[in-house]
Structure 1
Amino acid sequence: MIKFENVSKVYPNGTKGLTNINLTIEQGEFVAIIGTSGAGKSTLIRCVNGLNNITQGNLLVNDTDVAKLKGKELRQFRRHVGMIFQSYNLVPRATVLKNVMFARVPDMNLFKVIFGLFSKEDKLAALDSLNKVGILDKAFIRADQLSGGQQQRVSLARALTQDTDILLADEPVSALDPVTAKEVMDDFKRINEDLNKTILLNIHHVELALEYASRIVAIKKGEIVYDGPSQNVTKEILDEVYRKEA
């Protein structure tokens, strides 16, 4: 479970990222965060795994107080929260399989990391994750030889290999063409339903958010202006979320 209690985030330059956020996400939910650029979508996502520190309030992830985590404790916590980035964050010259196995690096000693001595268990887990996202046949191809959609699937497989119950995604399909974006969203939906993974993603494609997510959280100027089922989102709500202030 992810629970925001009166959470605010103010950046060092004084910019308000989030203001008084109260939000609870139960295990197994598929939640999409929508809003204009700069509304606070990425800020909210990145608070969950401590990439952004909150300024005030409480943020609990499976009963762990994220704001209190520092150093080694924070790094250990992040192993249990998968993160998928817009830019894929892959090692281009490494194979797809190695990129996925890198999810296990934090649990390995330095010698094994330097020489890439992954265990049989690591390899099997990585291959299983690649199979779940439909690119098992690409396991021994270099990551930089894949299309954008395939690279994002590698990123998703890497997150699955962390064996976490929570997957965060920061604009995972914004760099993809419409057809490929739907294919990647299909992967998210299948993982959510088949594996009961909590999916929390921010997305600027409103139509994809409404089609795939069961719950929509709309943010405007760092505040939640709608939180409810995707089927209850109306044109009036969207007009309010995306209306430019005079």
Structure 2
Amino acid sequence: MIEFIDVEKTYANNVKALQNINIKIDKGEFVAVIGLSGAGKSTFIRCINRMHDITQGEIIVDGIQVGALKGEQIRTYRKRIGMIFQSFNLVTRTTVLKNVLVSFVPELSLWRKVTGLFTKEQKIKALTALDQVGILDKAYVRVDQLSGGQQQRVALARTLAQNPDIILADEPIASLDPVTSKQVMDDFRRINQDMNISLIMNIHHVEMALEYAERIIGVREGQIVYDGKASEVTEEVLDHIYKGKVAEGTTEFEGKHAYV
């Protein structure tokens, strides 16, 4: 479980990226975080794995106070969390398999790091991860010979090789065409369902968010303004998230999930 308690994040220029964030995300949930550019979506995602330190409050993951971790504790904690970026972050002049094996570098002994030799077990895990995303046949192909969608699958395989409990995805389909985006989102949904990995995705494509995620978190100006099931999101909800509008005569949603 991931819990934010009174979390705030203020940058050095006094910009408040997050304000008064109180939310819980249970294991195995597929959550899409939506909102305008600059609303605080990426900051929200990156605070979970300590890429950004919060200014105030607490983030607790499975009972661990994330802000209290130091040094080796942070590195150990991050092994449980996979991170997927829009830019893929791959070494394009080497093979797909070597890019996936990079996830094991922190575990290597010094002589293995120097020689670049990985264990048989690590290679099997890497190949298994490639099989899980449907590109095992590309294991010995150079990354720069792959399509954008295939490269994003390599990045996803690299993350799966870590055997994470949580996957954070920061605009993973922003640079992909619609057909490829759907294929990658299919991968994310299958992994979420089959492996029960918590998946939190910052995404601009609202239609994709509503189709694939179970839960939508709407962020505006650093605050959570909507939290509810994807199936309950209406045009009025989207107007509230993106434009700050509430339907005439309405102050909040009726029922469990409401405008915040």
Counterpart secondary structure, 1:14: coil
1:62-86 Cα distance to aligned partner (Å, 9 max, x none): 2111111222221221111000011
Deviation at 1:196, TM superposition (A): 0.6
Q: Which moved more, 1:65-74 or 1:147-156?
A: 65-74
Name 2:133's counterpart in structure 1. 133
Counterpart residue identity of residue 28, structure 1: G
Aligned to 1:185: 185
For structure 1, list consecutive stretches of 5 or more residues without a partner in the other structure. none
Whether 2:180 is the aligned partner of 1:159: answer: no
1:118-139 per-position Cα deviation (integer Å, ceiling 9, x unaligned): 1111011011100110100100
Aligned to 1:227: 227
Deviations 1:2-56 (A, max 9, x none): 1101100000110111001011111100000000000000000000000000000
Task: Say which SS state the counterpart of residue 189 (structure 1) adopts.
Answer: helix
The reply to whether residue 48 of structure 1 matches residue 45 of structure 2 is no
Question: How far apart are the structure 1 equivalents of 2:143 and 2:61?
Answer: 32
Amino acid at match of 1:240: H
TM-score by length of 1: 0.97
Match of residue 102 from structure 2: 102
Q: Where does residue 210 of structure 2 map in the other structure?
A: 210
User: 101-110 vs 9-18, which deviates more?
Assistant: 101-110
After the TM superposition, list the runs of 4 or more consecutive aligned residues in structure 1 that deviate by more than 4 angstroms: none
Letter in 1 for 2:121: E
Rounded Cα–Cα distance in structure 1 between residues aligned with 2:62 and 2:107: 21
Distance 1:171 1:36 in 2: 13
Partners of 1:23 and 1:107 lie apart in 2 by 33
Flag the structure with larger Rg: 2
Task: Give the paired residue count.
Answer: 245
Instruction: Give how far 1:244 is off.
Output: 7.1
Q: Distance in 2 between matches of 1:53 and 1:21?
A: 14
TM-score of the pair, normalised by structure 2: 0.92
- State how far apart, in whole Å, the 2-side matches of 1:120 and 1:198 are: 28
Aligned to 1:243: 243
Report what 2:118 is aligned to: 118
Return the alpha-carbon distance in structure 2 between the equivalents of residues 197 and 188 of structure 1: 10
Supply the distance in 2 between the matched residues of 1:51 and 1:21 (Cα, whole angstroms): 17
Show the counterpart of 2:248. none
Tell me the distance in 1 between the aligned counterparts of 2:110 and 2:82: 22
Aligned-residue offset at 1:203: 0.2
- Cα drift, residue 114 of structure 1: 2.2
Secondary structure at the aligned position of 1:58 is classed as: strand
In the aligned structure 2, how far is the partner of 1:34 from the partner of 1:159?
A: 23
Secondary structure of 2:31's counterpart equals strand
SS at match of 1:53: coil
* Percent identity of equivalent pairs: 58
Q: Secondary structure at the match of 1:13?
A: coil
Give the match for residue 38 of structure 1: 38
Report what 1:195 is aligned to: 195
Q: Using the alignment, how far apart are the partners of 1:212 and 1:83 within structure 2?
A: 19
- Unaligned segments of structure 2, at least 5 residues: 246-260
Q: Helix, strand or coil: the match of 2:225?
A: strand
Looking at structure 1, the residues matched to 110 and 199 of structure 2 have their Cα atoms a distance apart, in angstroms, of: 32
Letter in structure 1 aligned against 2:54? I
State the Cα deviation string for residues 159-204 of structure 1 (Å, max 9, x = none): 0000111000000000100110010000000000111110001000
Q: What secondary structure does 1:127 align onto? A: helix
